[in-house]
Structure 1
């Protein structure tokens, strides 16, 4: 019913003047997806032929115990629905698994064909008794286990005929589709930010992932960075390696980052992965090694711990890491020409320096802190 007042003409336009309908239509055209069921027998053939990339590197991140694996086999045997497997079709036609690594690797391990990162056959899975099938205890596929129990031929045929649902992002899709899909599918998991980044990096650039993993075990780096066991289990050492290179590559202003720090590091990593191994790459491995060699020799495991004027106290400080590594790496030739005692003294001075204290307090968000510390540290360590 009209009350006599004119009503504004409502339009669904965003601030850029692009209609919502047009945005949906445009983006939908960039993602081409199929979905269908596939028998486990067909999956086994794809894996044997090299047409399915499981990414065994993920096994260090997605950790299932034998009880979880046995429960999956139970679900397949009983016809209980299993969540769909998401894969992305590469340009060479190979399917890249972006969600469902543990489900597929469990099936492959159970039938005895799963290979680890070193291409070695994994130990065949010995099942545990489950809620609905307690008699599964001790069973294997066909290689006799400790309890001498194996599936019969009829059971193996039925298992191979069972179907798994697949969702396929076709190769015609936008290049970022599978990485965005991975992040969305795993947004609610227990992965740390860096564990999720590691998975992305494996898919983006295996060579860069291998290099980051290698540097995270560098003896000088580990000697300088002493983090908790909990942090280590969440791939924090790999995160620190990435953040070192991200900081060294920073060319922005000292204003607040446009996005949260975690998202900023992830987006930088994706860009760096595209250029890694090319002349345009900004990742200087030698600079990393030179920087941490100096820090390990001068301060060792005290490098990133607070200095109270007489001794080092407390745990690893991420603000100290950001400030010191940015300053030393940005002036590496200078500090390689100085004595280790001079470097030690300069690092200890930051704890009383206003330029550090005023930009690293608890009230300073990472979005504001990081650009300020990076730029100011390069000047602080330049003399």
Structure 2
């Protein structure tokens, strides 16, 4: 297949149409339940009150805003692909935005902006503590036009996921994992919620001990997916990892789509693996061991995380069969040996990509952590 044929095939798989709608019309669509902005997404999109106020200012001043992309589901409901923060800001200000529990969120209060300082302290409608917008100014907002780009339901099944990913990476403020979480919510909300329960496991949190900033970017959630994706990968799959971001995207969405994926068994395996590591190593589990000083140094090492967790999980039954004190001593010993192992050290340094690291460090971890 040549380039022309590839382009023609892919262009036929994505069917779109577009037309402008007023903010007032979008409010009605949302109130009627015909627009799904996925309340779970709101935790990943972090506009400040000042940013929200500037957006409302733009509507009042008639400044054009970027297009909103939606996907039309089989039931006719529109899934928001891009534009959630803009729409959420409007819905929250008007007082109709729902949270994850289906409850109405309190209406937001505007801040002063550069061009409209008199917005300070205003709400959509007045209450005992705040002044409200006049009916004239409410009409300005309700009549503001939004360009809606619709990916029709006849499009390829993956069209909305591909579009969401392309629109929300690169210049976006979202981390790779936050984008991935959004994709998983669109794919299978129950699977996403299951991942969050694994992420919250105390033994897991104790051992990874990542920074607050990394948690804010959902790096601990990425580590859960990294563990699940690597532990059952074949040698051939490990050799074909390529870009780690793409690998984790493929694997996690594959799990979310697989109706036979045994979450109960995976939960049990996950909890047992990290409980053993927590009991033996706690927050030192994935930090570099310096034999000269006899201490761990530095921060979290993803290379150690991969090799140790997959190594222990591969031989989980054997580790569980051991006496607890002997097991803890041996896990400490093996984790220290990892840092003096030439195969691991040569393939886990800075500058080595996952595609070069994974096919060597994972098999080595399985060897080193065989009881």
TM-score scaled to structure 1, two decimals? 0.90
- Contact 2:238–2:358 (CA under 8 A) maintained in structure 1: no
- Would you say 1:366 and 2:344 are equivalent positions? no
- Would you say 1:68 and 2:56 are equivalent positions? no
- Contact 1:126–1:145 (CA under 8 A) maintained in structure 2: no
- Contact 1:115–1:121 (CA under 8 A) maintained in structure 2: yes
Which structure carries more helix by proportion?
A: 2
Q: 2:68 aligns with which of 63, 81, 85?
A: 85
What secondary structure sits across from 1:105 in the alignment? helix
The number of equivalent residue pairs is: 363
- Would you say 1:224 and 2:207 are equivalent positions? yes
- Contact 2:344–2:360 (CA under 8 A) maintained in structure 1: no
* Cα deviation digits, residues 87-146 of structure 1 (max 9, x gap): 111111111111111000000001101111122221211111222222111111114263
- Would you say 1:300 and 2:282 are equivalent positions? yes
Partner residue, 2:4: 21
- Contact 2:242–2:354 (CA under 8 A) maintained in structure 1: no
Q: Distance in 2 between matches of 1:145 and 1:214?
A: 41
Q: Distance in 2 between matches of 1:32 and 1:93?
A: 15
Partner residue, 2:125: 142
Q: Distance in 1 between matches of 2:36 and 2:119?
A: 29
Partner residue, 1:325: 309
Q: 1:264 aligns with which of 233, 247, 256?
A: 247
- Contact 2:207–2:274 (CA under 8 A) maintained in structure 1: yes
- Would you say 1:54 and 2:37 are equivalent positions? yes
Q: 1:238 aligns with which of 221, 238, 247?
A: 221
Residue ranges of structure 2 left out of the alignment (5+ in a row):
none
Q: Which moved more, 1:162-171 or 1:309-318?
A: 309-318
- Would you say 1:169 and 2:151 are equivalent positions? yes
- Contact 1:142–1:150 (CA under 8 A) maintained in structure 2: yes
Partner residue, 1:15: none
- Contact 2:126–2:133 (CA under 8 A) maintained in structure 1: no
- Contact 1:138–1:145 (CA under 8 A) maintained in structure 2: no
State the 1:348 CA deviation: 2.0
Partner residue, 1:6: none
State the 1:257 CA deviation: 3.2
Rg (Cα) greater in structure: 1
Q: Distance in 2 between matches of 1:24 and 1:41?
A: 38
Partner residue, 2:338: 350
Q: Distance in 1 between matches of 2:115 and 2:233?
A: 56
Q: Distance in 2 between matches of 1:280 and 1:186?
A: 28
Partner residue, 1:13: none
State the 1:256 CA deviation: 4.4
Q: Please, what is the CA RMSD of the aligned residues?
A: 1.8
Q: Distance in 2 between matches of 1:239 and 1:47?
A: 32
- Would you say 1:251 and 2:234 are equivalent positions? yes
What secondary structure sits across from 1:117 in the alignment? coil
- Contact 1:70–1:128 (CA under 8 A) maintained in structure 2: yes
Partner residue, 1:382: 370
